[in-house]
Amino acid sequence: MSRIRILPENLANQIAAGEVVERPASVVKELLENAIDAGAIQIGIQVEGDGTRLIRVIDDGAGMDQDDVLLCLERHATSKITSLAELGAIRSLGFRGEAVPSIASVSRVRITSRPAAQELGTQVDLRFGKVLKVHEMGGSPGTSFEVTDLFGNVPARKKFLKSTRTELAHIEEVVKNYALVCPELGFSLAVDGREVLRLPSRLDTPRSRAERIFGKGGGALVEVERQAQDEIEPGVWGYLLPPDAPVAGRLRIFVNGRAIHDRLVAHAVNEGLQNYLMKGRGAGGVIFLNLPLASVDVNVHPTKQEVRFHKPSGVHQAVVAAVQAAMADHQQALKKEIFQVPVLGQGREQAKVAPAKAYAPVSAIPAPAAQEPLPLFAVTDVAAPPVLQPAPDKGLFPEGNCAAEQPQPSAAGEEERALALGGLRYLGQVLDTYLLCATENGLLAVDQHAAHERLLFETLKRQFASKKIARQTLLFPKVMECSLEELQILKQYAEDIRALGVEIEDFGGASQVVKAVPAVLGRSPVEEVMAGIFARFGEPGSGKSGVRAEEVLSDMACKAAIKAGQRLTATEAEALLDEMQRAEVFSHCPHGRPVAKSFTSHDIKKWFYRG
- What is the CATH number for 295? 3.30.230.10
> Do 166 and 218 reside in the same domain of the chain?
no
Q: What is the pLDDT of residue 536?
A: 87
Q: What is the CATH number of the domain that holds 140?
A: 3.30.565.10
Q: What is the pLDDT of residue 94?
A: 75
For the chain, which residues score pLDDT lower than 50? 341-406, 419
How deeply is 165 buried, as exposed, middle or buried, from its count of CB atoms within 10 A (0-12, 13-18, 19+)? exposed
Question: How far, in Å, CA of 568 to CA of 451, rounded?
Answer: 14
Residue 345 belongs to some domain of the structure: no
| Residue 496 CA from chain centroid, whole number | 29
> Do 195 and 270 reside in the same domain of the chain?
no
Residue 489 belongs to some domain of the structure: yes
Residue 2 belongs to some domain of the structure: no
- Strand-pair category, 108-114 with 121-127: antiparallel
CA-based radius of gyration for the chain: 32
> Do 172 and 238 reside in the same domain of the chain?
no
Residue 420 belongs to some domain of the structure: yes
Q: Which of 134, 169, 199 is the last residue of a domain?
A: 199
**In this predicted model, what pLDDT tens digit does every residue of 522-565 receive, in sequence order?**
888 999 999 989 988 887 765 566 678 888 899 899 999 999 99
> Do 215 and 107 reside in the same domain of the chain?
no
> Do 31 and 108 reside in the same domain of the chain?
yes
> Do 453 and 595 reside in the same domain of the chain?
yes
Residue closest to 260 by CA, chosen among 367, 329, 177: 177
Residue closest to 39 by CA, chosen among 21, 62, 22: 62
Q: What is the pLDDT of residue 13?
A: 67
Amino acid in position 310: H
Residue 386 belongs to some domain of the structure: no
Task: Give the CA angle between residues 135, 141, 143 to the nearest 5°.
Answer: 65
> Do 267 and 309 reside in the same domain of the chain?
yes
Residue 366 belongs to some domain of the structure: yes
> Do 180 and 214 reside in the same domain of the chain?
no
State the pTM of this model.
Answer: 0.76
> Do 281 and 368 reside in the same domain of the chain?
no
**435 close to 338: Cβ distance less than 8 angstroms:** no
Backbone angle region of 139, left / alpha / beta, with phi > 0 → left and psi within -120 to 50 → alpha: left
Name the CA dihedral angle for 498, 503, 505, 510, rounded to a multiple of 10 degrees.
-90
Question: How far, in Å, CA of 544 to CA of 509, rounded?
Answer: 29
Question: How far, in Å, CA of 561 to CA of 161, rounded?
Answer: 51
**38 close to 141: Cβ distance less than 8 angstroms:** no
Provide CB contacts within 8 A for 580, sequence distance 6+. 339, 446, 451, 455, 586, 595, 596
Q: What domain count does the chain have?
A: 3
Strands (E), 213-284: 222-226, 235-240, 251-255, 258-260
Q: What is the pLDDT of residue 581?
A: 87
Amino acid in position 116: A
**178 close to 187: Cβ distance less than 8 angstroms:** yes
Residue 344 belongs to some domain of the structure: no
How deeply is 8 buried, as exposed, middle or buried, from its count of CB atoms within 10 A (0-12, 13-18, 19+)? exposed
> Do 50 and 184 reside in the same domain of the chain?
yes
- Give residue 431's domain range: 351-380+400-611
> How many CB atoms sit inside 10 A of residue 15's CB?
11
Q: What is the CATH number of the domain that holds 571?
A: 3.30.1370.100
Name the CA dihedral angle for 434, 280, 325, 600, rounded to a multiple of 10 degrees.
-40
> Do 420 and 527 reside in the same domain of the chain?
yes
Question: How far, in Å, CA of 125 to CA of 190, rounded?
Answer: 23
> Do 116 and 153 reside in the same domain of the chain?
yes
Q: What is the pLDDT of residue 363?
A: 40
**In this predicted model, what pLDDT tens digit does every residue of 328-371 receive, in sequence order?**
999 888 888 887 643 333 333 333 333 333 334 444 344 444 43
Question: How far, in Å, CA of 28 to CA of 56, rounded?
Answer: 8
Q: What is the pLDDT of residue 360?
A: 40
Question: How far, in Å, CA of 84 to CA of 107, rounded?
Answer: 32
Residue 393 belongs to some domain of the structure: no
